[in-house]
Structure 1
Amino acid sequence: MARARNIKPSFFANDDLADIDPLGRLLFIGLWTVADRDGRLEDRPRRIKAEVLPYDDCDIDTLLGDLQKHGFIHRYEVGGERFIQVVNFAKHQNPHVKESASSIPAPDEHHARPVQEQGKAHPEPEQVGLIPDSGFLDTNNPPNPPAGGESPTTPKRERKPRIQLKTFIDNCRAAGENAISGYKPLLEYVEATGLPMEFVQLAWDEFKRQFGPGGKDEARKQADWRRHFLNYIEKNYMRLWYARVADGGNEYFLSTQGLQAQALQSNREAVA
């Protein structure tokens, strides 16, 4: 049963959600409405899709995985049953006083184990900093240290500054680095999927056209442009290609958008 929840305008400007598919962001909001008063629900992707995104063609399980990877939800298993905890939900939402108590075990009870990452430590919901009444990460409010008082001895990873794509490319050139061609996660993805590198190059050209000088998103800043580009490749955001299953692997073909982008790049090269 869906319930009324809180959402603040700052949600839509939250850059921690920027790398998540737009449907994933909408799903995140939807999870608040179907979760119980403690922010828990059964991890049943088909049911969640029917309740939250019934009219959209999407892979709910993948979207849930993205939300977990970015720390917005915690997927866990208790006694062979799978559940979801919306991170810090109980702290920042205000359920109606008559709303029924949760019947789902908390992730820190009954030897719960994280889904997909069995055996790896996962932060408890109260350890992750969130913006009050919204349920999403607050970069100005860092997570609390684990119970016990002391922070981990592992050095805190330095946060990269957010820069424009042009600045990132200029920095790569100054350092004698390739912007994307040597990026190991990208190469591993291409090898695993069989995606042609010429399609990746076409996507990079279109990516630069969008985020580079004169592009409609020139002002956009990212801390990790390589990871941002890989996200575009993995999700095929620009819809430049499609795949067909064939003997020995997938076969990739340019879509109408891809053919148009290819023609545009060819004309640019001819003019240059």
Structure 2
Amino acid sequence: MARIRTIKPEFWTSEQIVECSPNARLMFIGLMNFADDNGVHPAKPMRIKMQVFPGDAFDASEIGGFLQELEDAGLIRRYDVDSEQFLMITGFTKHQKIDQPSYKFPLPNGKVPENPKRRRKQDSENEQGENGKCSANNERTDGEGSPPEGNGREGKGKEGSPPESPKGGRKKPATPISENFTPNESCKALALKLGVSLNNELPKFINHALANDRRQADWQAAFRTWLGKSPDFAPRGQQPTGGPARPRELTLD
């Protein structure tokens, strides 16, 4: 099973790494995902090809060439156990900090290490709380999903469904403004109070929203906000002097 591994920034400038071709470097990273927690993996070219390069037309001889590059650079070591060849990633256990390791393949001595007893989830959580931090590398296999984002609780509803509001109802979706948008009575009352001309501000508001591809869930509220700010952008000398100055016209053209 594939595993999550850590790639340090120093990897990219390592002399051992830069001595290898780009494809050999990529294969080395892939091997770290598929090797067991001792960094051991069968040295079978076609198996490696199907794991690391499933969509590429490399043949066994090319994969073997990449393995030779890695071995020449001291990045892997190959050995035989019971007529089967394995590879070990050198320095693997030094750079990969694994919380609860599991071992699948034999070491050069021919033995598969005994897997440590798996700790219960509660024990692991207690240890993390005592240490004040999480382990350096909590392993997750391919079959395990990523933890949900947000507040730590599992999400509800189907994928792609709109989020629920705090009260349990559906949030109103944001939509573009209609060219025929008409302000409601609340907007008209605010314009009257501020002494702002709807005939001047409404076209500017609609054109601005269309030009910038704005999306709003409540365009009436957005227009009230626009009206509230419009006196700040009026040319000098044309700002309302205070009080409910009435515009010439409050009806729309």
TM bracket, shorter-chain basis = 0.3 to 0.5
Higher strand share: 1
TM-score (norm 1): 0.38
Which is greater in Rg?
A: 2
Give the number of the structure with larger relative contact order, counting CA–CA contacts within 8 Å between residues 6 or more apart: 2
TM-score (norm 2): 0.40
